[in-house]
Structure 1
Amino acid sequence: MQRKISKPSLLLLIVLVGFPQMSETMYTPSLPDIARHLGASNNVIQLTLSVYFLGFAIGVFCWGRLSDSIGRRPAMLWGILVYGLGSFGCYLANSADWLMACRCIQAFGASTGSVVTQTMLRESYDAAKRHALFAQISAALAFTPALGPLIGGWIDQALGFKAVFFVLVLISIVLLSYAWNALPETRVTIPANIRISSVAKRLLTDSRIWAYGCLIGAANGVLFSYYAEAPFIFIEYFHMNPGVYGFFGIFVALSSIGGAMLSKKWTSRRGPQSMILTGSFIAALGALCLLCLTLSGMQASAGTLTGMVICTFILLLGIGMSLPNCLSLALTRYGDVLGTAGAIFGLGYYLIISLITSGMSLLHNGSLATMPLYFLGLTAAMVLISRWLAKTATA
């Protein structure tokens, strides 16, 4: 069965792929308050971010697979509904265990915004247009993690952290209404029964898929480990209130936006593989500068704060240059099984993100040097992997 494809608007794609990231970061300014209110350690509360990505990984597989059988639009609508139920559970949570369980449900539903949206984008546009759209969406997405703390910080300061989760419930209602009225079905054909085992075997034996999965996992792992650790650095070490911290994140997000825009501008001339390598190198340089600054023995001063912002800017600029090209190139060889391949691939790299953010939670010890040292190791690995990809692409 085949029909003419209907393309979703860029605005709708940005909204649908962006709300999971906002859900991930909107409550981060409240992490110290949540730890005190629930009587849990900072390390345990940070794990609520890692659990989010665990639920996200499982959801990516389930919704990606389901979108092949019931369609992209129904999978998106059901996922948003589950996300809303999970958000309401977070609002009711009165213990760290309950909060983690509901965060997992929330993430399971939210993951449809990532995997189904990317599938719709890949099947709706040709390669040249897709590279540009991924860069535009990445630029917009660089803002959503920063918008989350900005909104969440002021809500927490005014009404408490419970209100943050209630706002996420309201967002789910608005999203469901928007998607119901504006989201078209982009699946061109109803695929034959696709064997998961055969697609998984193709992916698992593809060394380039492993490379792209590690790059995407590491890039996002750095980004969300930053959002896990930063509230304790800026709120507890530099004594910012949650509202100011949330506003402060806007300046940091400009780096990711700048990186994505540079990627859009230069990819057509230099090629996506070159942009991945360049971005990885810039990210590693930023992590090295950040580590040197934190090891210099400087105290909690305006100078230290400014230096950390500049180094983080360089780090996330590189992430913003690499990530959209990795996402665009990863599944170019899997057009015949795009939904299922995207589901399995997403499961893999979100598990990597979960492991990386868990590592940040376990390493948290109150030292300013812990985060940059961790990031230096991750970005150095990105440089090595991207160099290998560049060599194999020209071989």
Structure 2
Amino acid sequence: MKKLAVPSLLLMIVLVAFPQISETIYTPSLPDIAHALGASNSSVQLTLSIYFVGFALGVFCWGWLSDLTGRRPAMLCGLVVYGIGSLMCFYSESILLLLASRFIQAFGAATGSVITQTILRESVTGSKRHAMFAQISAVIAFTPAVGPLIGGWVDQALGFRAVFFTLVVMGILLFLYAFLRLPETTTVSSRKKTAIGPVIQRMASMPRVLVFGVLIGGINGILFSYYAEAPFIFMEYFQITPGIYGFLGIIVALASIIGAMTSKRLLTVYAPEKIIHTGCLVMTSGAVLLAAASSMVTGADLIRILTILASVFIMLMGAGMALPNCLSLALAGFQDVIGTAGAIFSLGYYILVSLATWGMSVLHNGSLLTMPIYFLVISGGMWLLSIRFIRAS
């Protein structure tokens, strides 16, 4: 049987991007949620950490299931679970119920990430795959900023529950779009039950796979820890409105887009490993500047805000350079078990993202210096790792 065509790039972008929007759309509402549910700021930040726990388990489940049933059924089933979780978020009246709802929502949303990446990895090869991942990464970099922009104005106009209702509507539209436009991209004969143990052993025996997992987890950990902490910095410390905070996310997201575009251009001259190393160095430099900017004790608030944003811009530009190449290279050589390998790999690095965002919530103390020092430790560790394992390759 002839393999069906790969879905349109637009559909791939929509399906891989919506989990990021779901993660950040309610971040401008975090202070309001804490007040409405009678919870501490740290407890409300845990709703981001629990999202990645559910997401990590989801990417493993849907990736493995897609090898058995096909990509289309797994995607549609995951979107149904996502819609149920979003509806539960809308009706949550306590922080515990909201945490459980976010877990279910994330578990379903994971289907968009892992299955979309699997389709791309099994359908495109070589430099074309590197370039396509750079395009997708640019969109992924932008979508977390779309979330706060939408959520900030919806919260300001209608309250935080309207933000969760927006996700319910988005879930319905996504299901209809995928149901009508997503073809099956595997043949019946190619579906198989893959033993998980041998794949894990095979991946564990390749240090580069482990390094790429740590780098991807660290990059996303920094990004989403920023979205967890930034609302309290800008909205509580500097007293800006949710709507204005949403626009700040657009400025920051441009950094990741420029980084991804720079990576795509540099691929014509340098090896992907070299670009990863350079990206980690740029991230570390940005974190150093962020620590310096956050330690300013004098100056107008506007100058301090712009200086902090400029430092974050540099840091996330480096992330945009490194991330697409890590994603593209990570599972080279696993085409025969790409669905299961992708599920295991994604499970690992999303657990790291969850740990990073959890660490940010634990360290939250209202100080401007906490976040930049935390980012400096993570980015510096990634830079050292890139020197040892990637630059020398």
Distance 1:339 1:115 in 2: 8
- Residue 45 (str. 1) matches residue 44 (str. 2): yes
After TM superposition, give the deviation of residue 201 of structure 1 in Å. Answer: 1.1
Count of residue pairs the alignment pairs up? 392
Partner of 1:103: 102
- Residue 186 (str. 1) matches residue 181 (str. 2): no
Letter in 2 for 1:4: K
**Is contact 2:60-2:344 (8 Å) kept?**
yes
Partner of 1:128: 127
Query: Structure 2: which 5+ residue stretches go unaligned?
Result: none
Aligned ranges 1:322-361 → 2 under 5 Å: 322-361=322-361
Partner of 1:160: 159
**Is contact 1:6-1:186 (8 Å) kept?**
yes
Distance 2:192 2:173 in 1: 34
Distance 2:368 2:85 in 1: 33
What are the superposed Cα offsets for residues 197-221 of structure 1, whole Å, 9 maximum, x if unpaired? 1111111222111100000000000
Distance 2:300 2:97 in 1: 35
Distance 1:231 1:256 in 2: 19
Letter in 2 for 1:14: I
Distance 1:11 1:340 in 2: 25
Partner of 2:240: 240
**Is contact 2:15-2:116 (8 Å) kept?**
yes
Distance 1:330 1:163 in 2: 39
Aligned ranges 1:209-288 → 2 under 5 Å: 209-288=209-288
**Is contact 2:221-2:353 (8 Å) kept?**
yes
**Is contact 1:252-1:309 (8 Å) kept?**
yes
Letter in 2 for 1:264: K
- Residue 82 (str. 1) matches residue 81 (str. 2): yes
Distance 2:300 2:65 in 1: 50
What are the superposed Cα offsets for residues 59-86 of structure 1, whole Å, 9 maximum, x if unpaired? 0000000000000111111101100000
**Is contact 1:237-1:300 (8 Å) kept?**
no
**Is contact 1:69-1:190 (8 Å) kept?**
no
Letter in 2 for 1:307: T
After TM superposition, give the deviation of residue 282 of structure 1 in Å. Answer: 0.3
- Residue 35 (str. 1) matches residue 34 (str. 2): yes
Query: TM-score w.r.t. structure 1 length?
Result: 0.97
Distance 2:125 2:4 in 1: 13
Query: TM-score w.r.t. structure 2 length?
Result: 0.98
Letter in 1 for 2:292: C
**Is contact 1:76-1:116 (8 Å) kept?**
yes
**Is contact 2:290-2:312 (8 Å) kept?**
yes
Distance 2:163 2:157 in 1: 10
Partner of 1:17: 16
Letter in 2 for 1:84: G
- Residue 145 (str. 1) matches residue 139 (str. 2): no
Letter in 1 for 2:248: F
Partner of 1:63: 62
After TM superposition, give the deviation of residue 333 of structure 1 in Å. Answer: 1.4
Q: 1:295 to 1:66 in 2, by over 3 A?
A: same
**Is contact 1:123-1:186 (8 Å) kept?**
no
After TM superposition, give the deviation of residue 374 of structure 1 in Å. Answer: 0.4
After TM superposition, give the deviation of residue 248 of structure 1 in Å. Answer: 1.7
Distance 2:93 2:228 in 1: 21
What is the Cα-based RMSD across aligned positions, in Å? 1.1
Q: 1:101 to 1:299 in 2, by over 3 A?
A: farther
After TM superposition, give the deviation of residue 100 of structure 1 in Å. Answer: 0.3
Letter in 1 for 2:72: R
SS of alignment partner, residue 288 of structure 1:
helix
Identity within the alignment, % = 57
SS of alignment partner, residue 268 of structure 1:
coil
Partner of 2:6: 7
- Residue 317 (str. 1) matches residue 317 (str. 2): yes
Letter in 1 for 2:285: L
Query: Structure 1: which 5+ residue stretches go unaligned?
Result: none
After TM superposition, give the deviation of residue 389 of structure 1 in Å. Answer: 2.8
Choose 204-213 or 152-161, whichever is displaced more: 204-213
After TM superposition, give the deviation of residue 300 of structure 1 in Å. Answer: 6.0
**Is contact 1:80-1:112 (8 Å) kept?**
yes
